[in-house]
Every structure is written in C-alpha cells, then in structure tokens.
C-alpha cells in the first residue's frame, strides 16, 4: 500500500499489505468513545480526527487532532495498558483510515522502527498537551477565545457551541464574551458567522497573560 508507507514510512519493514481495506467515514462520525475498549490504532490516510475529553456534565475539551501521518496518543496508551479509552474521537471531515488491530499493534512493537515511531508520537503529543495545560491554567478564557478566533481569515463560519466545545466551556459564556468583543469593535456577529474587524486588538488581548504571573502565583483562569 504505497500511500500508507508514504505517510508512515516506519511500516516499510513490517507487513502492512495484510491489513485489509481502509475505511471511509463521513464528517461527524464517532470513531471511538470514552470508557470503551480500544479496537485498534487508527492510521489516518486522509481527513482528520478530533480527540476530545468529555466531562460528566457533557462539556468537551479538545486535546489534539490526528491527521494523515499522525498517531493517536489516546489509542496507543489504551493498547499499551489494556485500559478503556479516556477520550473520544470524531471525524471533523470525510476521513479515510486504516485500523491496526490490537494483536498486530503488539507484534509490531517488537520492531524498533515502529516502536520508535510510537514513542516519538508520545513525545510530540505530550508537548502539545503541556501547552494546552498552560493555556487552561494560566490564560484567561476570554484570551483563549481571542486566540481561537485568529488565523482563520476575515470571517469564521462557526457556531458559538463549536467554540465552546473547543475551549472546554459552555455556549452561554462564549456568547457573552463574543458580545463583549463586538461592543469593543473587534468582531461583528451574525448567524453562525463571526467577522474579524480588528485582528490586532484580538491578538494583543490573546497574548496579554499567556505567561503572566503575579506575586501570589499564577493568574487563575476566568470561567
């Protein structure tokens, strides 16, 4: 399977040709859920999977995304320890992937190339998660929202609920902060769309306290 080896070259020393046919899923398809047993390691060939943690109250916090050539840390950890999944995976767009069965995953771990690929993915994901922890612990929610609005062009086709899920909060809080941004003249709100009017002001607000520390300790997030 040339496409698979191009994205995951460490598999060249193994036998990926025996893994079967890739699966295609539509946007919004739930690939795995919290507390279920892991059915295998997903290798994304095309598309993207959002991996999120869901609270008992139904709130979600995005941990990371898995694209072509990436590995899923949550699935790998579950397969390593034989424990239930601690997050859920949802396709953000039409996605094509190959699922490596648990038995095959453990056989491949005996090969240094595959083992190094998995451990390297752990190192990269831990760095991403450390940055997420920093943002949650030290950056106020309104500043995180300002950062989330940047880098998508002059207009975002997004709902307040989707932003709330990305930030790990509730829609009402996001709506209240967006209306404040609108009063400041930074954005213009319409149905399922946010127009950026002053990206410079949003950027300055987003960077205001990423690493700010007071005499009494880290700035606490405002929820």
173 close to 164: Cβ distance less than 8 angstroms = yes
Asked if residue 79 has pLDDT above 90, the reply is yes
Asked if residue 184 has pLDDT above 70, the reply is yes
E strands, 86-138, are 88-91, 95-100
Mean pLDDT on 106-135:
83
Model pLDDT, residue 171: 83
CB burial string 8-37: b at 16+ within 10 A, e below: bebbeebebeebeebeebeeebebbeeeee
* Non-local CB neighbours of 98 within 8 Å, separated by 6+ positions: 4, 16, 19, 20, 22, 23, 42, 43, 45
Q: Could you tell me the pLDDT band of residue 135, with boundaries at 50, 70 and 90?
A: low
The residue count for the chain: 223
The first and second tokens of residue 27, run together, are 């946007």
């Amino acid at each position: 399977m040339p496409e698979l080896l191009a994205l995951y070259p460490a598999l060249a020393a193994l036998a990926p040709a025996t893994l079967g046919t890739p699966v295609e899923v539509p946007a919004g398809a739930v690939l795995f859920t919290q507390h279920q047993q892991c059915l295998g390691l997903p290798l994304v060939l095309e598309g993207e999977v959002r991996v999120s943690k869901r609270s008992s109250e139904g709130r979600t916090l995005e941990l990371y995304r898995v694209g072509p050539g990436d590995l899923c840390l949550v699935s790998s950890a579950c397969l390593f320890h034989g424990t239930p999944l601690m997050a859920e995976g949802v396709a953000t767009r039409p996605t094509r992937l190959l699922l490596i069965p648990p038995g095959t995953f453990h056989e491949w771990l005996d090969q240094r190339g595959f083992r190094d690929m998995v451990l390297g993915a752990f190192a990269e994901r831990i760095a991403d998660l450390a940055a997420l922890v920093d943002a949650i612990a030290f950056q106020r929610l309104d500043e995180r929202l300002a950062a989330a609005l940047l880098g998508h062009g002059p207009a975002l086709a997004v709902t307040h609920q989707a932003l709330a899920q990305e930030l790990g909060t509730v829609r009402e809080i996001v709506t209240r902060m967006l209306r404040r941004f609108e009063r400041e003249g930074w954005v213009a709100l319409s149905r399922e769309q946010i127009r950026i009017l002053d990206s410079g002001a949003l950027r300055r607000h987003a960077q205001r306290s990423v690493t700010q520390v007071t005499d009494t300790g880290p700035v606490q997030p405002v929820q």
